[in-house]
Amino acid sequence: MILSGKDLGYRSIVLNVNIRKATANDAGSISAMVNDLLQEVMRETNVPSFDVNVDLMKAQARQYIEAEQYVVFFAALPDREEPLGLLSVCECCALYAGGKFGVIPECYVRQDFRSQGIGGMLMVAVKEYGKQKSWKRLEVTTPPLPTFRRTFSFYQKVGFDVSGGRKLKVLL
């Protein structure tokens, strides 16, 4: 799938980007970009929220993709193999959601390429994927506000509505 920022209503953006579904062979790139995402969240919030082990993330990405439990979409320029952004999604099911739905655990665009429509293009790809899987909805949790208000605004711009409280966790 090839989209441009203009396809999504970004008037000044002419960047053409290829969106593709990652394979298990992309585990190294996936883990590196997720590491960048997690490091940014911890740096901006000054809270060590994640215990990052890139080698473990690489092995897990490979395992989850091979088991079809984890799907990742990459955005890259046509003449470059290195991804500019990624969006991952996992299938869940719940009675409150009316059946199966997708959860977006990671969405990240490299800083130099933000505000150019790449996140929106990734979102178009995951929405189409979700429709093909007959999902009822997509859900995402943003990093802490107000630090990541721009992230929150992005999700609203691509169609997400506030649907609940705050994300909580307990380690097992």
Q: What is the pLDDT of residues 69-80, one digit of tens each?
A: 999 999 998 888
pLDDT at residue 155, rounded to an integer: 93
CA distance 39 to 65: 23
Q: Where residue 69 sits, what CATH number does that domain have?
A: 3.40.630.30
CA distance 124 to 127: 5
Mean pLDDT, residues 50-61 taken together? 97
Residue 115 lies in a domain: yes
CB 31 within 8 A of CB 37: no
CA distance 14 to 140: 28
User: Is the model's pLDDT at 88 over the cut of 60?
Assistant: yes
pLDDT at residue 146, rounded to an integer: 84
User: Is the model's pLDDT at 11 over the cut of 50?
Assistant: no
Where residue 12 falls among pLDDT bands split at 50, 70, 90? very low
Contact residues for 129 (Cβ-Cβ < 8 A; gap 6+): 21, 71, 73, 89, 102
Residue 169 lies in a domain: no
Residue 167 lies in a domain: no
Residue 55 lies in a domain: yes
Residue 106 lies in a domain: yes
Poorest-pLDDT segment among 23-37, 41-55, 70-84, 154-168? 154-168
Of 107 and 147, the structure prediction assigns the larger pLDDT to: 107
Residue 123 lies in a domain: yes
CB 78 within 8 A of CB 100: no
At 121-144, the pLDDT tens digits run: 999 999 999 999 999 999 999 888
The structure's pTM equals 0.89
Nearest residue to 83 (alpha-carbon basis) of 150, 37, 149: 37
Mean pLDDT, residues 1-9 taken together? 53
Number of domains in the chain: 1
Residue 170 lies in a domain: no
CA distance 66 to 63: 5
CA distance 37 to 28: 14
CA distance 114 to 107: 12
Structural domain boundaries enclosing 10: 2-157
pLDDT at residue 1, rounded to an integer: 56
Provide the percentage of residues in the chain whose pLDDT is more than 90: 72
User: Is the model's pLDDT at 56 over the cut of 70?
Assistant: yes
Mean pLDDT, residues 76-99 taken together? 93
At 106-115, the pLDDT tens digits run: 999 999 999 9
User: Is the model's pLDDT at 5 over the cut of 60?
Assistant: no
SS3 content of the chain, % helix, strand, coil (to 5): 40, 20, 40
